Amino acid sequence: MAGESDLSECYPLHWMVWHNQYEKLRELLSNPEKDTEKNDSRGRTVLHLAVSLGHIECARLLLHNGANVLAENKDGWSVLHEAISTGDPEMVALILQFRDYRQACIRLEAVPKLLSELRNSPDFYVEMKWEFNSWIPLLSKVCPSDVCKIWKKGSCIRVDTTLLGFENMTWKRGDRSFVFKGCDQGATLLDINHDSKEVIEEVLFDDNVLSFDMFTPSQDVILHRLTHPVVCTHLNVDTIQLEVSTYGFLGWRSDRHETVNGYKAAVHSASNVEIVTKTRAEHVDDKNSKKSENNSIASRFLKSFSGFSLDHNATSSQTSEPNEHATAGNPEGLSPEQYFSDNQDKTVDIGRPKETTVKIQKFKGCLWMCKEFPLSLTQQVLPIIDLMSTTSPHFRKLGDFIKMKLPAGFPVKIEIPVFHVLNACVTFDNINGKKSSEVKAVPFVSEMQPEGPEGAPLEVIVEEECFEAPVGYQVMSISSNKTPGPRVDEDERLLQLAIQQSLMMQEGTEEEQVTLMEALSNSSPGSNRNRNHSPLPPLPHEDEFQKALRLSALEADKYKALEEQENEELRKALELSMLDK
C-alpha cells in the first residue's frame, strides 16, 4: 500500500479535500498549473470527491476556481446526481445553481458559433420525416409522425414542426416555427406559435453578462430533487456495432442497396443499440417509502410487460463496528490509504450505501448511407440538429446517434430508438424542393437556380421573410439570462405513460390508483406554469392508446404463459431422458 506522502503527491487536491483542509486547498488552487479535472483511483474528480464526502465549503471553493460542474464519474453519475444522493439541500442548491449557470453560458456561446459555422455553407431547403413506431405490439398504429421543414440561408435557420414533445402524459402538438438568426455580435432566437399568433424573441450577444443570482433554485425545485429518485438515461453508443447488410445465399451474398427518395443507398445494420437507465434512491426518506414501494411494483410490471433487463443493486454497510474514520460522508470508515490505493477493494466506497436500479433495453437500428447526396452532414445538417436539440428531445437522441463514427456517406434514412418504448425512422426528403412541380410549392423559396455540373447540389434562393416574425403576431422579448425551469426527462415520462395506462386497467381502489399514479409521475413542481403555447387536442388515434396497451399486455401475458409451458415440457423431457440411461 502506498504511503501518505506518495498519495498526497499523486492526488494533492483530492488529499486536501479528503481531510477537509480548506485553507491548504485554497493555496493549491492558486497554482495556475492545478488540475481540477484529474480523476482519482476510483474515477472521481476532486469536485466529485468533495460532494460525496459532504465537504460543502471545499466544493464551493472548487466551483469558484473553475472545477467542471458538468463532469461525470466513471459510473456516469454527474456532480448534481451525487449532490442529490447526499440528501443535503444546501449542497443540492449550490451544485444546481452552478450547473444551470454553466449550461446557460455554454448555450450563450454555442448558438452563435453554430450559426457562424453555417454561414459559408450552401443554402438549402430539406424536409425531415419522423415516423415513430413501437416494439410494444399493436402500439405502432397510435404512434405519431411529423415532417420538419428546414430552411437555411446564410447564418439563418428556420425549422417548422408540429410534434413538440411529450408532456403531462400526452403528445404535445402545435404549429410552431423555430428561427435562429446569426449576426456578427451574437444571435436572435424566435419561437413562433402559429396557433396563438405569438412570438417569443430572445437575443444572445457575445458580451451578454449572465447574472449568477438569477439561477438560484427555488425551494420547491430543491425539495422535488430530494424526494425523487435520481435518474440517468443515455444511449450507449460504445456497444453499437455497424455492419453492411447483405442478401443472397452462401458464397453468392452481396451488399444490400436500396433507393430512398431517388437516392441509391447502402444499407447498414446497427446491433447492440442500448438505452440504459440508471436510478438511485438512497436519498429518498421514509416519507416517500410508499412511493418507492409502488415504483418497485411498476418495475416488476415493466419487466414482464416490456422486456426490460432490470438489475437491482443495493450496497450495504460491511463494517460491523464504527472506526475513527467513519463520518456521514464516509460511513464505512475508509482510511485515505484504503480509498486512494489502486489495490484496495473498490466495492467498499464512500457516501451513502447505494440503492441502484439499472434498466437496459436493446434495439436494432438501421442506416441507409448515400455517397452522392446533395447535403453535407457535418457542415449543413449536424449544426441544425445541435440547434434543435435545445428544444426537442428526439432531435437530441438523433444527434447522439449520428455523432458516432458512421460509414462513408450521408444517412438519408435512419432507424433509431428515441424513447424506451418508441423507435424513430428519420428520412431526409424533398431536397431543395426537388419533388415540387413548381418552385412556389415550397414556401419562401422564390427561385431555384439551374443545376451545376453533374452531381453538384442544387441551390435555392430563400426569401428573407422566412426568418421574420409574421405580420400581426404579438412579439414578446425575454432576457437571455432568464432562469430556466427544471428539466424533466422525456424518456421517463413516456415510459411512465405505458406503465400508468396499463396499471389503471387493473383492479384496485381509487386511493391505490391515485397513490400509484403519484409514484409514477415525475413532473416537477410548477412545470406546467407560464406555458406560452396551447397544445392542440389529441389526435383521434391517441384515444385508442389505452386500448392498444391493454391488448398489448394480453398478448405479452399469452406469450409468457406459452414460454413457461414450453420450458416445463422441456424440463420433463430432460428428466425422462436421464431415467432412460
What are the φ and ψ backbone dihedral angles of 72, each rounded to 5 degrees?
-120, 150
Structure-block grid coordinates of residue 395: 432531435
Q: What is the pLDDT of residue 166?
A: 53
Segment 293-311 shows an average pLDDT of 48
pLDDT of residue 288: 61
Please give the share of the chain, as a percent, with pLDDT higher than 90.
31
Q: How far apart are CA 409 and CA 375, in angstroms?
A: 10
Over 70: is that where the pLDDT of 60 sits?
A: yes
Whole-number pLDDT of residue 13: 96
> 45 with 71: CB under 8 angstroms?
yes
Q: pLDDT (tens digit, 9 = 90+) per residue, 307-348?
A: 455 555 655 444 445 566 678 888 888 889 889 988 777 788
Confidence of residue 487 (pLDDT cuts 50, 70, 90): very low
CA 172-178-182 angle, 5° bins: 155
Helix axes 56-64, 89-118, angle to 10 degrees: 20
Among the ranges given (342-351, 377-386, 470-479, 571-580), the one the predictor scored with the smallest mean pLDDT = 571-580
Backbone angles phi, psi at 179, to 5 degrees: -115, 130
Least confident segment among 59-68, 410-419, 479-488, 512-521 = 512-521
Q: Give the per-residue pLDDT at 469.
A: 93
- As a whole number, mean pLDDT of residues 295-307 equals 46
Candidate from 23-37, 67-81, 154-168, 449-463 with smallest mean pLDDT:
449-463
User: Which residues, at least 6 apart from 516, have a Cβ–Cβ distance to it below 8 Å?
Assistant: 294, 297, 298, 500, 503, 508
Residue 116 has pLDDT above 50, yes or no: yes
Q: Higher confidence at residue 102 or residue 345? A: 102
Q: What is the pLDDT of residues 359-373, one digit of tens each?
A: 887 878 899 999 989
**Alpha carbons 396 and 402: distance in angstroms, whole number:** 10
Question: What pLDDT band is residue 252 in, cutting at 50, 70 and 90?
Answer: confident
Least confident of 53-57, 232-236, 316-320: 316-320
User: In the prediction, which pLDDT does 305 show?
Assistant: 44
What tens digit of pLDDT does each residue of 266-291 get?
999 988 888 788 899 999 876 664 55
Q: What pLDDT, on the 0 to 100 scale, is given for residue 63?
A: 97
Mean pLDDT of 20-43: 93
Q: Evaluate whether 340 touches 11 at the Cβ level (below 8 Å).
A: yes
Return mean pLDDT, the chain: 76
Q: CA neighbours within 13 Å on the CB side: how many for 34?
A: 18
Measured distance CA(91)–CA(229) in Å, rounded: 17
Position 393 scores a pLDDT of 66
Work out the average pLDDT over 507-533.
Answer: 36
Residue 459: predicted pLDDT: 66
Q: Find residue 158's DSSP bridge partners.
A: 151, 179
Predicted local distance difference test score (pLDDT) of residue 411: 93
- pLDDT confidence bin for 162, thresholds 50/70/90: confident
pLDDT (0 to 100) of residue 238: 77
Is the pLDDT reported for residue 9 higher than 60? Answer: yes
In terms of pLDDT, which residue wins out, 403 or 261? Answer: 261
